[in-house]
Structure 1
């Protein structure tokens, strides 16, 4: 499956993609790079790791591989912290090589230059099978939808689907329930989405829902924790 996308530049200088058919972008106009670090690294991975210092490997499930930015930043974190990560992600519309090779994330921080080659390795990894991408980062990419994919137990959920107004089928209580069911005790779900209905559904599904400051340009984001 293919989807028409156009490369854009967001306010922090990092690229994102615009999808004409959905009139939607993959990231915030206010900064793709900053958004991923704020929502998924700071309030997701780093928070969970601070609460579970001795639990390894860390199991992460991502809804929406997209540009690969979240996966690449997680790989860097895993290598820098020498902490093994098992990363499972889905993407029914993989990017063509001509697109992801133009994305400029590897140029955002010159101190990360030795991690540059891993960005292409993430995209080039085979679909629907496990891949050892680096010493501390194993990944399985499924070219599949959330409705159809088989899920595994997870410590952290990166819920990075398009907005509920654009892809409502991914934000139904039924779909959220499928993800919540595989969350381990104490697991964390993070999303840029601040929609009240999504928060109510997560609460109804038994999670402790927290409201946190959003990334630049967004007032709030959501973190939800499964009781231990």
Structure 2
């Protein structure tokens, strides 16, 4: 796979930059902070205290999301059945050799990650973990149809850099794997992704920015098939989309990425979407940004 460059983020945690995708694995503000705010906190893991849960981690990368999940589940003595999808072994190789990364978690995480790297598998009385190496568009089909997930983490490179994991066709396969009350969680607030998930029948919520994140209007998206509205009041981490976010879904930015046979190249997927946007009568994203005083850096479409 591509060459990777080590990056030290502002919270002291390490990440990587992909030369091929020309994008960092995490925000420069902090790899650990991003994981906690955008994935662990919205998961509401206390729901599973002393219980069992099924999780699918798409684009495992360095393993921050799974490590944080495992770390919390160790503390609350929960049981886990984890599937992970990843195309490149290099990030995991980096993680199990990086002492700073390993110090962030319970010692057991190192044992689990080493087993995933060497054997693609780990199992003990509490955790059963399996990683499938290769193109996620193919490997998701290996997961038994009976497996439905309480949590699905989608953490690929941004839609404009890696559209393959953000298309209608792939997201359709992903949502089929979700339990009715399960959460699909992603850092992306892309209108194309949100509109696609809504069209697939999921209810969409926005992950709230932190106190120190005044430059962001959202930290990502939580999508749920059948949400108990009475429980939304109890969740401090995500909320209904604002008027501004809803209007974002009415712009050309909401036009989806398409990959009919789930084997298209990145450039072809992007070109197809650009062509569709040019022919669209939807409001321009530029006009939406202007109305709400947004800058291009404030979101990914």
TM-score for the superposition, normalised by structure 2 = 0.66
Residue in structure 2 matching 1:137, options 127, 148, 164 = 127
Q: Map of 1:67-106 to 2, 5 A cutoff?
A: 67-95=62-90, 99-100=94-95, 101-102=97-98, 104-106=100-102
- Per the alignment, residue 103 of structure 2 pairs with 107
- Per the alignment, residue 219 of structure 1 pairs with 217
Alpha-carbon distance between aligned partners in 2 of 1:97 and 1:77, rounded to the nearest angstrom: 20
Alpha-carbon distance between aligned partners in 1 of 2:92 and 2:198, rounded to the nearest angstrom: 40
Spell out, residue by residue over 1:101-136, the C-alpha distance to the aligned partner (whole angstroms, 9 max, x if none): 12622334xxx5xx135235314425775421x542
Aligned residues of 1:79 and 1:137 also touching (Cα < 8 A): no
Alpha-carbon distance between aligned partners in 1 of 2:120 and 2:78, rounded to the nearest angstrom: 22
Aligned pair in 2 of structure 1 residues 94, 129: CA closer, same or farther (>3 Å)?
Answer: closer
- Per the alignment, residue 148 of structure 1 pairs with 138
User: Partner of 2:136: helix, strand, or coil?
Assistant: coil
More strand by share: 1
Which of the pair has the greater relative contact order for Cα pairs under 8 Å at 6+ separation? 1
Alpha-carbon distance between aligned partners in 2 of 1:202 and 1:4, rounded to the nearest angstrom: 32
Q: Map of 1:165-184 to 2, 5 A cutoff?
A: 165-184=160-179
Displacement of 1:185 in angstroms is 1.1
Structure 1 stretches lacking a partner, 5+ long: none
- Per the alignment, residue 14 of structure 1 pairs with 13
Residue in structure 2 matching 1:197, options 192, 201, 211 = 192
Aligned pair in 2 of structure 1 residues 72, 178: CA closer, same or farther (>3 Å)?
Answer: same
More helix by share: 2
User: Partner of 1:190: helix, strand, or coil?
Assistant: strand
Displacement of 1:68 in angstroms is 1.3
Spell out, residue by residue over 1:139-198, the C-alpha distance to the aligned partner (whole angstroms, 9 max, x if none): 000002221112331111001111101101110011111000111111101110000111
Aligned pair in 2 of structure 1 residues 80, 182: CA closer, same or farther (>3 Å)?
Answer: same
Displacement of 1:71 in angstroms is 1.4
Matched residues, number: 217
Aligned residues of 1:59 and 1:155 also touching (Cα < 8 A): yes
Aligned pair in 2 of structure 1 residues 36, 145: CA closer, same or farther (>3 Å)?
Answer: same
Spell out, residue by residue over 1:31-80, the C-alpha distance to the aligned partner (whole angstroms, 9 max, x if none): 1001101111100252xx43x668x4200001111101111111111111
Aligned residues of 2:54 and 2:148 also touching (Cα < 8 A): yes
For structure 1, which segment, 63-72 or 215-224, has the greater mean C-alpha deviation from structure 2 after superposition? Answer: 215-224
Aligned pair in 2 of structure 1 residues 177, 23: CA closer, same or farther (>3 Å)?
Answer: same
TM-score for the superposition, normalised by structure 1 = 0.86
The alignment yields a C-alpha RMSD, in angstroms, of 2.3
- Per the alignment, residue 253 of structure 2 pairs with none
